[in-house]
Structure 1
Amino acid sequence: MSVYIYVVARDFGFAPNPFHGVCTLATCKPIVRRMAAEGDWIFGMGGTKLGAVGRCIFAMQVTECMQFDEYWADPRFKDKRPVRNGSRTMMLGDNIYHRANGQWQQLDSHHSRPDGSPDIHNIKTDTGTDRVLISKHFFYFGKDAPEVPKEILEKIRYKNLRGHRVYLDDQCRELLDWLTATQSKNLNRVVDDPFQFHQSAARYSVSDDKILD
């Protein structure tokens, strides 16, 4: 079992999407989505822009992996399709990709252009790894992200840097033990709203690396 840890630069509730009783990572982080296997853990730590360095925004153990077309067609995840004139939760659905006539189709979503049209740069980044990670064993804290004890992070030499790091589970045993010992009551719960939930109508452009209103 491996443990993947990365810094969450933006927390809208889109990547990961912790709603409807399942936590999914269907966009962004193409390398993590390509490499992580069932049983692996993924931790998202707060970044400087969120003012949450050293705090755990989410942790998910991968329980299932599937391709975009499978995710799109699976009735379990129909509620994960975005509805841009719906509630904040509905607006941020991550089930946005499927193929038609061999071409990727992108729903009007957080990764589309401001007018709702497809964003070719986001499509290229997201579909570069045709894989969705699914978890029915997750912790999502959002704005109530707990602080991970400093000594635990120091032991694994964690630093607030871009990209991700991969550890063997025994290297992160203290981190996993801390999570289960202190947060068991929050298993499979959305403890608090995402940091940027109030901006649910915004879009993100990977080519500009900025949020578009």
Structure 2
Amino acid sequence: MLIEPSSILYAYAITRDFGFAPNPFHGFCTLATCKPDIRNTAKVGDWILGVGGANLKNAKKKCILLMKVTEKMSFDDYWDDHRFSIKKPARNGSRVQVLGDNIYHKDRNGEWIQEDSHHSNPDGSFNITNLYRDTKANQVLISDHFYYFGDKAIEIDLGSIGYNRIRNYKKISLDKSEPAKKIIEEIDIKFHSDKNIIISDPCQFSDFYKRVDQGTGELY
């Protein structure tokens, strides 16, 4: 079933689109960092609509991502799952490897480890601001039913779902919103042959080597 009973659409602003959060590579789209409120409350069967924020001028107010949550797991389970080992970051690897989002797991004492990644400090040490924000929700959202448009983001009718101001996120009941259901259904029909592939590169893919501090928004 495409749209499950009692499911929710979470529409949110993608402030930065490197290919890290969301991470659309290797046949799964994952949201493993940022947006802790969405990661905490979204359930399997819900939908995530990622809309270009003001900083992404060519994708502003356009759909970068539409994904159905098909799995949800803790950071430790994500780290240990052999399917997602390929999403562990390698800062000396390819662009896709550099942007791996499988970065959090706990040590023997139950303390968080943050792997050298897009969310670390320039020297690879822990960025405590990012670690704190990301681990506020010990949940990873996973999809094997997604459409990732990247820098070829598509126009959608955001006004019809009341998401005109692209800030934070909006939670929409799919039982009660025909316009929200229509957006999902139309994308699923029109782009069905492009499901689970990267239709175009992330908007900021050329800056793959940069890191970010979520507290200041600074890239380095």
- Do these two structures clear the TM 0.5 threshold for a shared fold by scoring above it? yes
Q: Distance in 1 between matches of 2:86 and 2:161?
A: 37
Equivalent of 1:11 in 17, 41, 48: 17
Residue 158 of structure 2 is aligned to residue 153 of structure 1 = yes
SS in structure 1 at match of 2:66: strand
- Deviation at residue 48 of structure 1 after TM alignment: 1.6
The equivalent residue for 1:22 is 28
2:80 maps to amino acid: A
Point out where structure 1 has 5 or more consecutive residues left out of the alignment: none
Q: Distance in 2 between matches of 1:8 and 1:180?
A: 21
Normalised by the length of structure 1, the TM-score is 0.95
Residue 64 of structure 2 is aligned to residue 66 of structure 1 = no
The equivalent residue for 2:218 is 210
Q: Number of aligned residue pairs: give it.
A: 209
Residue 31 of structure 2 is aligned to residue 31 of structure 1 = no
Equivalent of 1:84 in 79, 91, 114: 91
Contact between 2:14 and 2:52, CA under 8 Å: does it hold in 1?
yes
The equivalent residue for 2:51 is 45
- Aligned residues: CA RMSD: 0.9
Deviation digits for residues 38-71 of structure 1 (CA, Å, limit 9, x no counterpart): 0000000111211122311011100000000000
Contact between 1:47 and 1:160, CA under 8 Å: does it hold in 2?
no
Q: Distance in 2 between matches of 1:33 and 1:105?
A: 19
Deviation digits for residues 12-47 of structure 1 (CA, Å, limit 9, x no counterpart): 000010001100000000000001000000000111
Point out where structure 2 has 5 or more consecutive residues left out of the alignment: 1-6
Q: Distance in 1 between matches of 2:9 and 2:25?
A: 22
Equivalent of 1:177 in 180, 185, 200: 185
1:75 maps to amino acid: H
- Deviation at residue 160 of structure 1 after TM alignment: 3.2
| Runs of 4+ residues deviating >4 angstroms | none
The equivalent residue for 1:199 is 207
Deviation digits for residues 184-203 of structure 1 (CA, Å, limit 9, x no counterpart): 12110101110111111100
Q: Distance in 2 between matches of 1:5 and 1:209?
A: 21
Q: Distance in 2 between matches of 1:6 and 1:102?
A: 31
More strand as a share of residues: 1
- Deviation at residue 181 of structure 1 after TM alignment: 2.4
Contact between 1:7 and 1:160, CA under 8 Å: does it hold in 2?
no
- Deviation at residue 207 of structure 1 after TM alignment: 2.1
Normalised by the length of structure 2, the TM-score is 0.93
The equivalent residue for 1:127 is 135
Deviation digits for residues 52-99 of structure 1 (CA, Å, limit 9, x no counterpart): 223110111000000000000111100000000000000000000000
Q: Distance in 2 between matches of 1:153 and 1:120?
A: 35
Q: Distance in 2 between matches of 1:161 and 1:155?
A: 14
